[in-house]
Each structure stands twice: as structure tokens, then as C-alpha cells.
Amino acid sequence: MNIDLDLKKVQSGLINNLYSSKIEDIPPFFLMPVSVFVYLQANEKLVSVKRALDFFTPYELNKFKSFKYFYFSDDIKKSFPFSQSGLKVKSFLNLKVSIQDIKKKKISESHFPGDSYFLSQQIFRGIAPLWLESGSSCLEINPFLVSVFVNELCPSLEEEKLVMARERDVRSFEKAILISSLSIFLVLHLGYCNLKFLADLRSFVFYEIVFGKSSFDSTSEINELIYLSSVWIENSEFNSVQLSFLKKHKKKSAQKIISRLEKERVITLTKLVSSDRSMEIQKAKNV
């Protein structure tokens, strides 16, 4: 889903259907999930000022502050589940640093799952449903929306290098954002639950693609997933990609993800069927 990426102008009559945000509430260097517009009252036009995946510098935000509001297309609604999931997973991972306090009984165990395996399971079950957000009958994910998830999960990339990367090559910048985000998303599926490690890995992949050789071997589980993310994004041309892509590659890491997702889908469908049957039984009792 290339959300509004090339859209320059939209009819002013659509303004009531768009989401808006005060410009003063937009943090600098935060990656935009969709294209951003300002409203030109003199011409009664909404004009695109930022592409999806781009960001505003403090100077740019100050330049636009007279417009008071930024507007976003209705497609931004598709990003909400990914944004919420990113924040939820982040809250879980931030709790991880309190494990020593839990062991010392300074914090009640009821506030934190002290077992790392249990934590990784909770996180996996939080992100697995995102594969179904497209509404497709098959499991697929949109890399733009994955970047929204990771943007909420990890701290912002280094500001100076973000600007340098964008000025160097916009296409390469966007590709680096998508590949690094997808890498983190896939790594989470395998139980990596250290937020600092995830943030460092995201930065490493991003900078390697923009400033380095951007080639990753498959000598480790992590490198396998980075490599697959790179091939995935290159082949999809930034569009949604199906889980079947991973099935074509005999990488152990990919097969683990497929196995876990398919198992989780069976569990989810079983719960839905069970719920539907319970409702039918309850209805029958009420007749």
C-alpha cells in the first residue's frame, strides 16, 4: 500500500474527511505514516508537503506553523492498529528492565511476566494479528505499516544521519527505512525481546543500506532475516507481500516464523469458531 506517496493535490472539498493534527504537536524527525497536507485558503487547495516515510526538521515545522494544522488522508486509519501494537509491545519491553526488581520482590509478579519465554509469547500474540489487517484470505503484511509499528517501538534514528540519508538519495532512504523496519518486525517473531538490541539493530541495518555496502550474509539467524527483508522489499516494490514469500526460502529462521504464525492462526480461528458456537448455544437457550 503506497499510501498517497505521489499525491500532490487533492480537492479542498475533501478537507472534512481528512484527519488533522496541530503542527505544534508533531515531533521533529518522526516518520510520517502517510502523506501530509496543508490547506491553502487563498487557493482553496490542499497541497502535499511531505511524503509517507518522510519527517519534519525543527526548521520545517517552524516554517509551516502559520498553517496551524497538518492534514492526513483517511488511509491513516489503516496505520492505527500498527501504531497501537508498537506502543503496546514497547510497554512490555520497557518492563523487561525491571526483572531484577521483580526477583527481589520490589514489584509484584502480577505486574510483570517474569519468565522471558512467556514475555516473548505475549509479544508474538500481540503482533501476529497484524498479518490479518489487510483483510486478505492469506497472511500478508504491508511494509509501510510495519514501519509505523517500528517507529512507535524504537527510538528515533539519529537526527543528523536521517537528514544526510534523505539528502543523499530519497529512494535509498525509503528503502532503508522499510528494510530495517521489516527486519525488526521479523526478529520479534523469534523471541528477541531486548529493546536496546532491537533499536541498535534497526540503526545498523538502516545505516548499512544508506552509507554502507548494504549486503548481508546469512551466517546467523539475524542476518538471515535481514537478508530476507532486503530481498522482500526489493521484489515487492514497496507493496504488500505475502507470507508465501518466506516459504520459497529454505532459511531456518523463515520456517520458524511460518510455523509460529500458522499455529497462531489455527488457535485464533479455533477460538472464533468456539465463540460462534457458544453464541449459537446461548441463542438456542434463549428461544
Examine residue 265 and state whether it is found in any structural domain, yes or no. no
Examine residue 34 and state whether it is found in any structural domain, yes or no. yes
The single-letter DSSP state of residue 109 is G
Give me the pLDDT at residue 249, please: 74
pLDDT digits (tens, 9 = 90+) for 124-141: 888 988 988 777 667 888
Examine residue 273 and state whether it is found in any structural domain, yes or no. no
Give me the phi and psi of 47, to 5 degrees please: -120, 130
Give the CA distances from residue 178 to residues 201, 217, 233, 263, in Å, rounded to whole numbers and listed in that order: 13, 19, 7, 27
Examine residue 217 and state whether it is found in any structural domain, yes or no. yes
**Tally of domains in the chain:** 2
Neighbours of 81 (CB within 10 A): 16
pLDDT at 50 over 70: yes
pLDDT digits (tens, 9 = 90+) for 73-120: 878 999 999 999 999 999 888 765 443 443 344 433 333 344 567 778
pLDDT at 232 over 70: yes
Confidence bin at 71 (pLDDT 50/70/90): very high
45 vs 37, more confident: 37
pLDDT at 287 over 80: no
The boundaries of the domain holding residue 83 are 79-260
SS3 138: coil
DSSP H/E element including 149: helix 143-153
Examine residue 208 and state whether it is found in any structural domain, yes or no. yes
